[in-house]
Every structure is written in C-alpha cells, then in structure tokens.
Amino acid sequence: MIAEAMAEGVKIRDATNLDLPAIMEIERLAFAQPWSLDSFERELSLPFSRLIVASPMARGASPLAGYLCRWLVADECHILNVAVRPGMRRRGIAERMMSDAITEAKAKNAQVVTLEVRRSNLAARRLYRKFAFEERRLRIGYYGSGEDAIVMELKL
C-alpha cells in the first residue's frame, strides 16, 4: 500500500532559491548529464512549473532529501525531473513526492500525468509502475547518450 510506504521525517514543500545549492548537489550525484543551475532557476520562475522538495522536518538536521519538478499545462501534468539523495533512497521519498504531484494534478483537474524515463532506469520504471503509469511508446535516441526514452502515462 502506497500510504504505508511513505517516508517519515520529511515534509514536501515548494522549493525556493535557497534550496538550489542542495538541489544541484543531488542532481549531480543522480545524473550523468545533470541540469544546470540556470535550468532550475528558470523552472522557479515559470508560472506553469513547480519545483517541490522533500525537506527534513527537524531543523538543521539533515540536508534536503530530494526534489521533483513538474509542469502543469492545460489538462496535462508532466514530470520533468525527480531525484533523491543517494544515501536516502529506498525510504519512500520519491514515492511521497510523486504522490504529492499526482494529488495536486487531480485537484487541478488534469486528465493525465506524463513523463519520460531511460529504458535502462529500472528503479524509476518500477517507481512509476507502482503508481499505475503505463509504458506507452519509445522515443528512439532521445537522450544525449543515444539511449531511448520510454514515454509513460497515468490517466487520472
């Protein structure tokens, strides 16, 4: 049951500019071709974009655990980026952020949530399947490395 697996000790909140150093640290640890600082700053300024973070409840205790970026355009929520700090994985933190994004999308009357995932990223593919995302089609050579993307979709 998704609710039972949810991470304890973190709260989900909107990111601010002050979170960007920690977000960049996680981004560089998580991806071979990380987004730039400019990209995150741009997301914070776009009205249809939302960047959320999983932040420790206890002040000053541990660093940011993870973040998720989504766009909400017309009736579609698109998840652009999600990552969790390596030492904090497998505690339900990504699941918690995904759950927040999906709940918000439903509340705002989105009809579908979409995302792209590397074919080789079995951890992320399992995460999305846990939310009943379906693998719809391939984007051949979508990533810079030449790897294919799988387009996944969750009808709300």
Minimum Å gap between C-beta 111 and ligand COA is 21
Q: Nearest to residue 72, comparing CAs of 103, 41, 27, 96? A: 103
Binding mask 113-132 for ligand COA (x = CB under 6 A): ----x---x-xx-xx--x--
Question: Does 82 interact with ligand COA (rule: CB under 6 A)?
Answer: yes
Residue number, 109 or 137, with CB nearest to ligand COA: 137
In whole angstroms, the minimum distance from the beta carbon of 117 to ligand COA comes to 4
Residue from 22, 91, 110, 154 in contact with ligand COA (CB under 6 A): 91
Task: Write out the DSSP string of 84-114.
Answer: E-GGG-SSSHHHHHHHHHHHHHHHTT--EEE
133 token code pair:
């995302």
- The residue among 33 and 47 lying less far from ligand COA, judged by its C-beta, is 33
Smallest distance, Å, CB 104 to ligand COA?
Answer: 17
Q: How many CB atoms lie within 10 A of CB 137?
A: 10
**For 107-120, b where at least 16 C-beta lie within 10 A, e where not — what string?**
eeebeebbbbbbee
Give Cα 60 distance to the centre of its chain. Answer: 24
- Is residue 139 a contact residue for ligand COA (CB under 6 A)? no
Interface with ligand COA includes 10 (CB under 6 A)?
no
Q: How far is the CB of 54 from ligand COA (least distance, A)?
A: 8
